[in-house]
Amino acid sequence: MLTCPMCKKKLSRLEKRCPGCRTDLTLLVDYVDHLQDGLARAAALTRAGELGDAVWAYLDVLEVDPDNPTARRQVSRVATAIRTFDRASPGRRWLAGLRWRESGVRWVWYGAAGLLIGTALLLGYWWGSTTCVSAPAAEPHARGTQE
């Protein structure tokens, strides 16, 4: 059901002019018509089994009307099905485990490198502090001695 943007009167059917204030509603009617056509096209594609094209048609509807409940529900169903498939597929689980192992090995290498660098810094500090020879203090000239 449309509402006239000028007089805020609810319209019982799609008309090109508001019966109350005579405002031109052509753009609004075309908008609603195209929205309904997009939903009908997406539903027909779904019934025909063309789920990929149906999802794109629903996404086209959401691009025009992001709050459309039918399109949101259908796209969320497809997204949930894909998410469920990705979690249940053995190949995906194996790949996820492999990625986890790779990331675990990477952190082991980072930890070992950090430990090696820290040990080198501590050894360098210790060696420098033990081998450091202080500069001899200059002896003051004795009074009364001649050169």
Does 34 have pLDDT greater than 60?
Answer: yes
Does 139 have pLDDT greater than 90?
Answer: no
Tell which phi-psi region holds residue 132, choosing left (phi > 0), alpha (psi between -120 and 50) or beta.
beta
Assigned domain for 67 exists: yes
Joined tokens for residue 41? 């096209």
pLDDT single digits (tens) 88-115: 666 666 666 666 666 666 778 888 999 9
* pLDDT given for residue 113 in this prediction: 93
Strands (E), the chain: 2-3, 10-11
Assigned domain for 62 exists: yes
Joined tokens for residue 114? 């950090």
Assigned domain for 103 exists: yes
The count of structural domains within the chain is: 1
Question: Higher-confidence residue: 132 or 58?
Answer: 58
pLDDT single digits (tens) 49-99: 888 888 888 888 887 777 788 888 888 888 887 788 767 666 666 666 666
Assigned domain for 79 exists: yes
Joined tokens for residue 92? 């995906």
Closest of 40, 35, 36, 32 to residue 5, by C-alpha? 32
Assigned domain for 119 exists: no
* pLDDT given for residue 82 in this prediction: 76
Length of the chain: 147
Assigned domain for 37 exists: yes
Q: Which residue is it, tokens 């004795």?
A: 142
Assigned domain for 1 exists: no
Joined tokens for residue 34? 């195209």
Residue 42 maps to which CATH number? 1.25.40
Assigned domain for 41 exists: yes
Q: Which domain holds residue 103?
A: 31-108
pTM above 0.75, yes or no: no
